[in-house]
Amino acid sequence: MAALQPGRLGSPGLQLRDDPRLDPRLIPALAMFELDVDPPESPVDGDSPVEAILEFAGVSEEGFNQLGMVTTGETPPPDGVARSTKTIKGVDDNDISLYIHRPEGDTGPLPCVVHTHGGGMVILEASNPAYNRWRDELAATGLIVIGVEFRNGGGVLGPHPFPAGLNDCASAAQWAIDNAEALGASKVIMSGESGGGNLSIATALKANQDGWVDGIAGVYAQCPYISNAYHEYPKELGSLTENDNYFLDVGRQMAALAAIYDTEENGPSRNPLAWPHYAEVDELRGLPPHVISVNELDPLRDEGLAYYRKLLAAGVPAVGRMVMGTTHAADCIFLDAIPDVYRATIGDIKRFADLV
């Protein structure tokens, strides 16, 4: 008898809390937001009017902001981190706030991580408590960390569709490279999760196209949201079906957010700067070393793995990493529930930054 396929490939009605692969410590944390079971059906999808999707994005942003505050609130913050804010001009002549975290009293030079936050390139803010905490935790290991307040496709920092957010992230990376000596930075690394994973990868692709990629020492992308195949469920990205409605609703929620980020009139685009999954192997040659980290129970898992394999085919030094038993971005959200998993990812980013 053939083995039962995992998740919803083998049992279409399986609830997340009943999936035997899930780290059981996550069940009560997810249940606080009723994310341990199928969420209510999203009121919008990729074909909904833009105004309706933007309204949905605003509501979603409020919910995710609350999630980030609750899931890290019980663990004491690290000591010895200094914070400052710098405002720079972007390539579109807009102001970009940079939130800079570093060890107090450091004498440098230290690796510098330019962090691009999650939210599907459409919602959330670098200034929110969960991302402040993430940067503090990274800085406490001996890193300079810069959070980029980029323009979003929706929410309170929107609506600014592609390429606005990417332009802001590229501007921040170029600023860090150009000001490395004043920052006390030995090198510059791009890193982000989910939509921020997209932007960290896309910044390197843009830098490669524009001739300044040598300033980026490496890219550490977590659970990258990079395929825009959320209306299709292609077989080669089986995790979109296997883990659908596990924390993320693919066919409606993800497709809707994608529609207000990439506003191509003729349907979902395959521009690799918007959706790096579609980059050709030749476009990846010359990129710096990458880590592509994915979550076992994430709908987006397989697009990250596909990009990792494409990097290898292009001759780019790359490491693939799977965080077992976890949902989308759980290793950078659920500090209180799975502190060992959260800190393992923090430590892996630190090791990567030291070694590249």
Q: Residues, the chain, total?
A: 356
Q: Is the torsion defined by CA of 64, 325, 143, 110 positive or negative?
A: negative
What CA–CA distance (Å, rounded) separates 287 from 276? 13
Q: What is the pLDDT of residues 256-271, one digit of tens each?
A: 999 999 987 655 679 9
Arithmetic mean of pLDDT over the chain: 95
**So what's the pLDDT on residue 64?**
84
| Per-residue pLDDT at 133 exceeds 50 | yes
CB of 349 within 8 A of CB of 191? Answer: yes
What CA–CA distance (Å, rounded) separates 250 from 301? 12
Out of 3.40.50.10860, 3.40.50.1820, 1.20.58.710, 3.40.190.10, the CATH code matching 49-355 is 3.40.50.1820
**So what's the pLDDT on residue 205?**
98
HSE (CB half, 13 Å, CA atoms) of 62? 5
CB of 56 within 8 A of CB of 42? Answer: yes
What CA–CA distance (Å, rounded) separates 70 from 85? 25
**So what's the pLDDT on residue 348?**
98
**So what's the pLDDT on residue 259?**
94
| Per-residue pLDDT at 3 exceeds 70 | no
Burial 319-354 (b: 16+ CB within 10 A, else e): ebbebebbbbbbbbbbbebbeebbeebbebbbebbe
| Per-residue pLDDT at 282 exceeds 50 | yes
Q: What is the pLDDT of residues 67-123, one digit of tens each?
A: 777 888 899 999 999 999 999 999 999 999 999 999 999 988 999 999 999 999 999
Q: What is the pLDDT of residues 149-171, one digit of tens each?
A: 999 999 999 999 999 999 999 99
Better-predicted residue by pLDDT, 314 or 2: 314
Q: What is the pLDDT of residues 20-61, one digit of tens each?
A: 999 999 999 999 999 999 988 999 999 999 999 999 999 999
Q: What is the mean pLDDT of residues 326-340?
A: 97
**So what's the pLDDT on residue 265?**
63
% of residues, the chain, pLDDT over 70: 98
Q: Which two tokens stand for residue 111?
A: 């690796």
Q: Would you kindly state where each structural domain of the chain is located, as residue ranges?
A: 49-355
Going by pLDDT thresholds of 50, 70 and 90, the confidence category of residue 1 is very low
**So what's the pLDDT on residue 266?**
55
Q: Which residues contact 212 (CB under 8 A, 6 or more apart)?
A: 174, 177
Q: What is the mean pLDDT of residues 218-247?
A: 97
Q: Which two tokens stand for residue 91?
A: 């390539």
**So what's the pLDDT on residue 313?**
98
What CA–CA distance (Å, rounded) separates 12 from 222? 26
CB of 166 within 8 A of CB of 273? Answer: yes
CB of 296 within 8 A of CB of 323? Answer: yes
Q: pTM of whole model > 0.85?
A: yes
How many C-beta atoms surround the C-beta of residue 235 within 10 A? Answer: 8
